[in-house]
Structure 1
């Protein structure tokens, strides 16, 4: 695998961060672009990138912050171009409006990518119109359990307005892109860690539909949540990123769930993933050190699975970024410092993280989590 990474900041020229000596633009198979929405919407810039890498699939996502090597960027475009020696790629783009629900979309996407020697699917999804839980369910049901799935939902800073995802020139809200990796010589490993702790009493979701919760313990969900937040309720929905919920359904492990939007009219809470009736929920909180420690733990897990890496892709949650504030770089620096060797690192801050738990071969949508995907050709 040979890689080139370049960065463009707003109103500035391109800067090359790294370039392997054998890299050739014409041989690049995949270009991953993580960018602020403003830069991503520059059609001339996109056309120039397509022209520069004529044979590559150009996959783009808007973000809540971009990651390049050991740094977190704002209002930038990070471009990572990859050329594989022993791996074939296939891409698929689907539109939310063309499918009856997110599970159907995920199932269709997986069927389009599912063929012999499929090792890994990397997902970039719209972050506003997609139910991430059922999207993942649709994908996992349609492929072999050994296929490793990871990726994330797009971001839009802290505006929570429109998120953009694209494949080549098809760049717009409501898109979901999947990249299939086909190889018997590509090693892919994933990990995910949060660093959040439960507090307050356990409550039960008593009325919900999909990823929208209307009542908790028979009370209006929004009203109850506001009472917990106190003065911070005035900053909703943004302040909800500081106080996610843990959600446990049946015998499944508890998952962190983030509120994406609120509805004052019906007093409901809209989450990034499924919130089934009967599930139990608790408020969560964290400390800066716990988030950074979780980043180290996620990296240690990757290191146990694979000693060296060509490329590591990070998807971390916008909520972590809001908590860490000026220390956000520290969780990415922790990853870079803990990884063996000098792999190229890219990624972004998202509205939801997708990762496969390697031991259980179980893929989930996460919130408030740092996820890593490591790639190594042998």
Structure 2
């Protein structure tokens, strides 16, 4: 596998991160600040650099490349595989009238299943119910294929997110990259590092990813009471206090970030579903726990590997980035400590992470986790 990485800040020229080599028909991942991706002609600019590449765009809350986290920038990771092929398909959720489950199912069915080893998703983060989307994917493939990825982001603005394949980035787009070939080795893991605190409450009224009532009381009002003075900074301040959700009859808890609020309905809008009768608690963390969780996720992903990874896809949550603040690169450094400096890192800070629970197939939507996917060719 050959890899080329570049980065560019606002008003600066492209700069190589590592060696400059020519690639043949590469997969090109372009992660960046939403305003920079809205620049007219951005696709044509990247296409001039990689004329035979498959170019995937995604807006972020920070880009990961090499050992760095880059804000207000665009980063490119271009990959040429020796024995692996890839196929890319898209759907746009704005065309599907809110049926995210069917959108995920339809997108999965576009792929040939023969020798399909792995799928990576770069998906809209504004209009998608990520829980329904990932269920659609998992059920369409009967949980046979590893699927990881993330929901695009817009820093802490929550205004609009962008993604696309071989065109200028746009809203509502879901991009799925399928990797084919028996020589491909892919492993993944997730870990959070957040701790529940405070009283457990019961979800008494919800609809999909809309939370209306806890213990029969307005959810938004209760949440504002917890935040105190920080409530004036909603929804951004909510990223520091996500919800731990345990649905009835499940063995895993799911962390849910708050993406927005609905003052009129006194409701909270989450990144994914929150079923009625679930038990809910607030969560908190600190810098050391976040960094340790990244190391833990990486070690879990390395456990069963036959080869050293050539490439690591990292998708981490914007809430973790806010906690880390000036020490944000520490969780990237923890990953490098485990995989080694010969592994190329690529990824972004997201509004939601996509991966299976450890030991399970299919995929789920997560929040506030480090999701790591390690790739090499045998």
Question: Smaller-chain TM-score range?
Answer: over 0.9
Determine the C-alpha separation between the residues in 1 that align with 2:333 and 2:341.
14
Aligned to 2:353: 353
CA contact (8 A) 1:260 1:271 kept: yes
1:164 Cα deviation from its structure 2 partner: 0.2
Distance of 1:176 and 1:219 partners within structure 2: 36
How far, CA to CA, are the matches of 1:228 and 1:34 in structure 2? Answer: 35
Q: Distance in 1 between matches of 2:303 and 2:73?
A: 33
In structure 2, which of residues 85, 89, 108 is the aligned counterpart of residue 88 of structure 1?
Answer: 85
SS at match of 1:240: helix
Name the stretch that deviates more: 355-364 or 75-84.
355-364
- 49-58 or 315-324: which moved more? 49-58
Residue in 2 aligned with 1:157?
Answer: 155
Deviation at 1:170, TM superposition (A): 4.6
Aligned partner (choices 184, 200, 207) of residue 209 of structure 1: 207
1:301 positional shift? 1.0
Structure 2 portions without partners, runs of 5+ = none
1:229 is aligned to 227
CA distance in 2, matches of 1:370, 1:14: 28
Who is 1:332 aligned against?
A: 332
Length-normalised TM-score, structure 1: 0.96
User: Mapping of 1:58-73 within 5 angstroms?
Assistant: 58-73=55-70
What SS does the aligned partner of 1:357 have? Answer: coil
Question: Is 1:173 the equivalent of 2:159?
Answer: no
Alignment of 1:1-378 (within 5 A): 1-19=1-19, 23-25=21-23, 27-100=24-97, 101-252=99-250, 253-306=252-305, 307-378=307-378
Q: Distance in 2 between matches of 1:373 and 1:303?
A: 10
Q: Deviations 1:180-235 (Å, cap 9, x if unpaired)?
A: 11110000111111000001111111111110011111000100111111221121
Does structure 2 conserve the Cα–Cα contact (< 8 Å) formed by 1:295 and 1:370? yes
User: What root-mean-square deviation, in Å, do the aligned CA atoms of Structure 1 and Structure 2 show?
Assistant: 1.3
Report the alpha carbon displacement of residue 355 of structure 1 after superposing the two structures with TM. 1.0
Contact 1:212 1:271 in 2 (8 A): yes
Q: CA deviation digits over 1:124-169, x for unaligned, max 9?
A: 1110100001100000111142311000000001101000001111
Deviations 1:306-363 (A, max 9, x none): 2511110100000011111101111111111221351110111000000123412242
Distance 2:70 2:220 in 1: 33
Cα deviation code 1:52-104 (max 9, x no counterpart): 21221100000001111111111111101111111111111111122241111
